[in-house]
Structure 1
Amino acid sequence: MTTTTFSTIDELEPEQRLLVRIDVNAPVEDGIVQDDRRFARHAETLRELLDRDHAIALLAHQGRPGEETFISLRQHADILAEHLEREVDFVPDTFGEAALAAIDCLESGDVLLLENVRMCDGELPEEDSDRKGETKLVQTLAPAFDAYVDDAYSVAHRSHASIVGFPCVMDAYAGRVMEREYTANTAIRERSFDGTVTLALGGTKAEDSIPVIERVDKTVDQFCLGGVIGELSLRAAGHDMGYDIEGTELFDHQWEAHQETIKHVLAEYGDRLHLLKDLAYEANGTRAETTVEGVTKETSYFDIGSETARRYADLVTESEAVFVKGALGVFEDERFAEGTTEVLSAIADTECFSIIGGGDTAHAIGLYGLDKDDFSRVSIAGGAYVRALSGEPLIGVEVLERPDSVSC
């Protein structure tokens, strides 16, 4: 059994003022949060802390600057309040005078959500933990609290101020989501399987997907590719795919940053990579499909094609273990959910050991009426889940560990 070397909330004295980092980053459509799965998980930690009469201020993020999902957390406070069945106050400030005044008024049993931490200078980009500990965000907020609790396992791979800065300057503990996700996901790589192990790899972030193949080389036997990595792999294989067309900015910059790695992965692991045979696109408001061979990209593709989906489902059915990282298509649009849902349904119908990773993919399970109990584990983490699977260190975990495994 995997053991942890960090302190948990079991070791906290009651009635303290706590700064708690959670991850309620969610899909957003027209400015409205579409999924509350992460809220429900963190509510378990918060209820436990409230039962011990702690006063809580929450740090969280939503989206990234420049993205449509980069919005205020005001509605997040209301969603969290529904799960906690108690009021969650919100302040449209993170570490300015308004935030500090609201924190100063906190009493036992109170919950306060601070504004989107990614709106603050110093939160991004990735930097060493010691530099993050010196940011104005950390230096201003830390003195206002007795301790810091990190419950945001899904961003434990990010060296951002709200993740790695506070443990450098104050007592830090792991919340229940952090503790349970880390223990479960780390244990995956310690399992051994006699049969085939398959990884379905999709999503929109090449930086999270491309290196995965090399990281899990010793764990996974075959890879089913979709999403951005699926198209970029076709481009590397010589097909006229994986390009931006007018009005899109999804592929070209990712190709420029990762093309050498993609080509290396195809050359090194080509016999274990299953590439797309067909793709789905929109035509006259409905789903249409085309094979990959001989096609010039003139439109956006939103899903793997039906032939590819059936082939991937067959591979899953024959596997002893299946891991999923990222959606295979734009499943939020029912016309383009076939690839993701057919593969997930095949996993659910099979007696295999299965882990579904990533908030968006987990959202698809509920959205299309699948039962999460048909999977061995549904993780709310994406990048952190893959890193734990491959044994790569998680900086957000390392800074919590004692004794001083990380120098801040």
Structure 2
Amino acid sequence: MKFLEEIEVRGKTVFLRVDFNVPLDDNLNIRDDTRIQASLPTIKYLLQQGARLVVASHLGRPKGQFNPKMSLKPVAGRLAELLPGTRVIMAQDVIGPEVDKLKAELKEGELLLLENVRFYKQETDNDPNFSRQLAQGCQVFVNDAFGSCHRAHASVVGIASFITEKAAGYLLKKEVDYLSKITHNPEKPFVAILGGAKIEDKIPVLESLLTKAEVLLIGGAMAYTFLKARGLQVGKSLVEEDKLEIASQIMKKAEANRVKLLLPLDHVLAASIESREVASVAENYPLPQELMAVDIGPKTIAEYKHFIQSARTIFWNGPLGVFEVEAFARGTVEIARAVAESGALSVVGGGDSIAAIHKAGVADRISHISTGGGASLEFVAYGTLPGIEALK
């Protein structure tokens, strides 16, 4: 895979795929421009090097229909503010004669932002004809959209067949560099922390981590599927009944591979998430039938911290409780602080885990915060992604 700085772009029309899938408020103002800021180094470099820049992204899930609420127009406005002195042109479409004319008229150091690529169903279908039309008039393809690299879509994968010169942008390279340290040769001890609601979303990454990590710390609602698979009664806690067998197999495999797979020792319980208050903390089974687990308890926090403190490599995806509710946030926030204080190479992926890191106020002490939750999980599971393979 080539890197941006290894290719000559002056005077060339460069198709740059970014991830500008930013949250908008009801008035279509951008609520958080983190994703735009993340690709600014790549955009600035290409403009400074004299590229004629065509920028493409998706926003939301318009399902192949034009939807003005998911237009990239607010992004064009924000880019113009962030790039003073740069001419930013907003296309009314993604492909077609009008767009081809705008591409042809681009001057060095100018930026053309295409409309939302997912306004066309052919984008998510990875349609070859649509890919060819995206590539029309472009001599270089740069991918900086790590958060979309696990999707074999036209503007991520298909387009690469129609442009010979290809490279990774700064953001994509940084993501691959950090995640490769986890997947290819992690410094030991390697501790993985997995939380969130469902085992279903994490099966491939669990399978992969069983061959790489020494310790797996499990929290969040998914822990209760594991505990029930051990024959324990977990009250009203969320359980994936159809995943009990898979949970048993994962625990057996952990034992066979001599991986410590740890589950919560004690549980913060509530009548419901909506109650927003702790009913009790329990460590004995059965858990009360009328209560559900909403966070890990103090004994679990202490045990998990013990393993985090001795780690040299840490990967974390998913909160350990319902951390959006203040009363149920302690476990996730304490673990975030422990990861920050560990001195280990730490990689955190996934929107909820990132929000937890910010809530704990320790974002500046994490080695790498991944911009793509789904993409980072898939990379850890398979060691590569369709969008990365397309650049090779």
TM-score higher than 0.5 = yes
Note the C-alpha offset of 1:394. Answer: 2.1
Note the C-alpha offset of 1:307. Answer: 4.7
Give the 3 Å change call, closer, same or farther, for CA 178–221 of structure 1 in structure 2.
same
SS in 2 for 1:123: helix
CA distance in 1, matches of 2:89, 2:245: 48
Tell me whether 1:275 sits opposite 2:260 in the alignment: no
Q: Which stretches in structure 1 are left out of the alignment for 5+ residues?
A: 126-131, 245-250, 402-408
What is the identity, as a one-letter code, of the residue corresponding to 2:33? D
Alignment size in residue pairs = 376
Note the C-alpha offset of 1:265. Answer: 1.0
Tell me whether 1:180 sits opposite 2:169 in the alignment: no
Give the 3 Å change call, closer, same or farther, for CA 259–157 of structure 1 in structure 2.
farther
Deviates more, 1:156-165 or 1:22-31: 22-31
Tell me whether 1:266 sits opposite 2:251 in the alignment: yes
Tell me whether 1:342 sits opposite 2:334 in the alignment: yes
Tell me the C-alpha RMSD between the 2 structures: 3.6
| 1:133 and 1:169 in contact (8 A); partners too | no
Q: 2:147 aligns with which of 141, 144, 154?
A: 154
CA distance in 2, matches of 1:217, 1:368: 28
What is the identity, as a one-letter code, of the residue corresponding to 2:252? A
SS in 2 for 1:162: coil
Deviates more, 1:328-337 or 1:161-170: 328-337
**1:60-99 → structure 2 map (5 Å cutoff):** 60-64=57-61, 71-85=70-84, 88-91=88-91, 93-95=93-95, 99=99
CA distance in 2, matches of 1:235, 1:95: 52
| 1:215 and 1:390 in contact (8 A); partners too | yes
Q: Match of 1:365? A: 357
| 1:197 and 1:220 in contact (8 A); partners too | yes
SS in 2 for 1:173: strand
**1:197-276 → structure 2 map (5 Å cutoff):** 197-203=190-196, 206-227=199-220, 229-238=222-231, 239-240=233-234, 256=242, 260-269=245-254, 272-276=260-264
Q: 2:286 aligns with which of 265, 275, 294?
A: 294
CA distance in 2, matches of 1:326, 1:81: 35
SS in 2 for 1:212: helix
What is the identity, as a one-letter code, of the residue corresponding to 2:262? H
SS in 1 for 2:212: coil
Q: 1:21 aligns with which of 14, 17, 39?
A: 17
Note the C-alpha offset of 1:343. Answer: 0.8
* Post-superposition CA distance 1:101-152 (Å, at most 9, x none): 5545533323233333334213336xxxxxx351x43132211322221112
Q: Match of 2:66? A: none
CA distance in 2, matches of 1:10, 1:290: 57
Tell me whether 1:400 sits opposite 2:388 in the alignment: no
Give the 3 Å change call, closer, same or farther, for CA 13–197 of structure 1 in structure 2.
closer
Tell me whether 1:56 sits opposite 2:49 in the alignment: no
Note the C-alpha offset of 1:233. Answer: 3.1
Note the C-alpha offset of 1:297. Answer: 7.2
* Post-superposition CA distance 1:258-293 (Å, at most 9, x none): 555333213322672222342465354545555484
| 1:279 and 1:290 in contact (8 A); partners too | yes
Q: Match of 1:314? A: 306
What is the identity, as a one-letter code, of the residue corresponding to 1:274? L
Note the C-alpha offset of 1:398. Answer: 1.5
What is the identity, as a one-letter code, of the residue corresponding to 1:347? V
Q: Percent of counterpart pairs with the same letter? A: 29
Deviates more, 1:303-312 or 1:17-26: 303-312
Note the C-alpha offset of 1:32. Answer: 6.4
TM-score for both structures, normalised by structure 1: 0.77
Tell me whether 1:163 sits opposite 2:151 in the alignment: no
Q: Match of 1:129? A: none
TM-score for both structures, normalised by structure 2: 0.79
Note the C-alpha offset of 1:316. Answer: 1.4
Note the C-alpha offset of 1:80. Answer: 4.0
Give the 3 Å change call, closer, same or farther, for CA 175–371 of structure 1 in structure 2.
closer
What is the identity, as a one-letter code, of the residue corresponding to 1:76? V
Give the 3 Å change call, closer, same or farther, for CA 285–398 of structure 1 in structure 2.
closer
* Post-superposition CA distance 1:333-365 (Å, at most 9, x none): 544433322111011122223222335433443
CA distance in 2, matches of 1:323, 1:49: 32
| 1:235 and 1:242 in contact (8 A); partners too | no
What is the identity, as a one-letter code, of the residue corresponding to 2:54? A
Note the C-alpha offset of 1:234. Answer: 4.0
CA distance in 2, matches of 1:7, 1:375: 25
Note the C-alpha offset of 1:26. Answer: 4.7
Q: Match of 1:109? A: 109
Q: 2:318 aligns with which of 302, 323, 326?
A: 326
| 1:203 and 1:209 in contact (8 A); partners too | no
* Post-superposition CA distance 1:292-336 (Å, at most 9, x none): 843477788664455544442333123333211233345455444
CA distance in 1, matches of 2:89, 2:133: 20
